[in-house]
Amino acid sequence: MSSNETVIVEKPNNVSPPPSNEENGETTAKRTPFYQKSWFQSIFSSVIAVVIGLILGLIIMIATRPDVAFSKFPILLGQWITTTGRRGLGRWLELVPPLLMCGLGVGLSFKAGLFNIGASGQYTVGLFFAYLVGMFGGPLGNFQWIVAILAGALGGLIWGFFPGFFKATFRINEVITSIMFNYIGMYMVDSVIVNSASLYNSARGRAQTINLNAMTNTLGLEKVFPGSNVDATFFIAIATAIIMWIIISKTTFGFELKAAGANRDASRYSGINEKKSIILTMAISGLLCGLGGAFFILKKDSVGTGIEYLPDNVIQSAGFNGIVVALLGNSHPIGTIFSTFFITFLNRGGYYIQPEFKEELANIIIAVIIYFSAFSAQIGNYVIGFRKRRQRKKAIRLAIETGDGDFESDLPDVEESEASDYFDEGGSK
HEC string of the chain equals CCCCCCCCCCCCCCCCCCCCCCCCCCCCCCCCCHHHCHHHHHHHHHHHHHHHHHHHHHHHHHHHCCCCHHHHHHHHHHHHHHHHHHHHHHHHHCCHHHHHHHHHHHHHHHHCCCCCCCHHHHHHHHHHHHHHHHHHCHHHHHHHHHHHHHHHHHHHHHHHHHHHHHHHHHCCCHHHHHHHHHHHHHHHHHHHHHCCCCCEECCCCEECCCCHHHCCCCCCHHHHCCCCCCCCHHHHHHHHHHHHHHHHHHCHHHHHHHHHHHCHHHHHHCCCCHHHHHHHHHHHHHHHHHHHHHHHHCCECCCCCECCCCCCCCCCCHHHHHHHHHHHCCCCHHHHHHHHHHHHHHHHHHHHCCCCCCCCHHHHHHHHHHHHHCCHHHHHHHHHHHHHHHHHHHHHHHHHHHCCCCHHHHCCCCCHHHHCCCCCCCCCC
Q: Which of 77-86, 142-151, 307-316 has the highest mean pLDDT?
A: 142-151
pLDDT computed for residue 45 by the predictor:
77
Determine what percent of the chain is predicted with pLDDT higher than 70. Answer: 80
Asked if pLDDT for residue 133 goes beyond 90, the answer is yes
Asked if pLDDT for residue 346 goes beyond 70, the answer is yes
Rounded CA separation 124/319 (Å): 9
Banded pLDDT at 382 (limits 50, 70, 90): low
| Domain map (residue ranges) of the chain | 40-374, 377-429
Using CA atoms, how far residue 173 sits from 43, 114, 177, 323, in Å, is 30, 9, 7, 18
Please write the tens of the pLDDT for every residue from 173-193.
999 999 999 999 999 999 999
Q: Is 200 helix (H, G, I), strand (E, B) or coil?
A: strand
Asked if pLDDT for residue 285 goes beyond 90, the answer is yes
pLDDT computed for residue 180 by the predictor:
96
Asked if pLDDT for residue 12 goes beyond 70, the answer is no
Asked if pLDDT for residue 44 goes beyond 90, the answer is no
Determine what percent of the chain is predicted with pLDDT higher than 90. Answer: 49
More confident residue, 258 or 377: 258
Region 293-298 average pLDDT: 96
pLDDT computed for residue 369 by the predictor:
81
Region 105-120 average pLDDT: 95
Asked if pLDDT for residue 144 goes beyond 70, the answer is yes
Banded pLDDT at 36 (limits 50, 70, 90): low
3-state helix, strand, coil split of the chain in percent (to 5) is 65, 0, 30
Angle at 358 between CA 56 and CA 119, to 5 degrees: 75
* CB-side neighbour CA atoms (13 Å) of 157: 10
Asked if pLDDT for residue 374 goes beyond 80, the answer is no
pLDDT computed for residue 282 by the predictor:
97
Please write the tens of the pLDDT for every residue from 307-342.
889 898 889 889 899 998 998 888 999 999 999 999
Asked if pLDDT for residue 113 goes beyond 70, the answer is yes
Asked if pLDDT for residue 34 goes beyond 90, the answer is no
pLDDT computed for residue 27 by the predictor:
47
Q: Is the Cβ–Cβ distance between 140 and 170 less than 8 Å?
A: no
Among residues 244, 254, 110, 126, the alpha carbon closest in space to that of 174 is found at 110
Measured on CA atoms in the order 165, 168, 170, 175, is the torsion positive or negative? positive
According to CATH, what is the number of the domain 40-374?
Answer: 1.10.3470
Verify cis geometry, omega within 30 degrees of 0, for the bond prior to 355: yes
More confident residue, 172 or 26: 172
Asked if pLDDT for residue 158 goes beyond 70, the answer is yes
Q: Which of 62-71, 151-160, 255-264 has the lowest mean pLDDT?
A: 255-264
Average model confidence (pLDDT) across the chain: 84
More confident residue, 222 or 428: 222
pLDDT computed for residue 403 by the predictor:
65
Looking at the DSSP bridge assignments, the partners of residue 206 are 201
More confident residue, 212 or 235: 235
Q: Which of 113-117, 197-201, 423-427 has the lowest mean pLDDT?
A: 423-427
Rounded CA separation 118/125 (Å): 11
Angle at 160 between CA 289 and CA 103, to 5 degrees: 30
Asked if pLDDT for residue 234 goes beyond 90, the answer is yes
Please write the tens of the pLDDT for every residue from 214-229.
899 999 998 899 888 8
Asked if pLDDT for residue 21 goes beyond 70, the answer is no
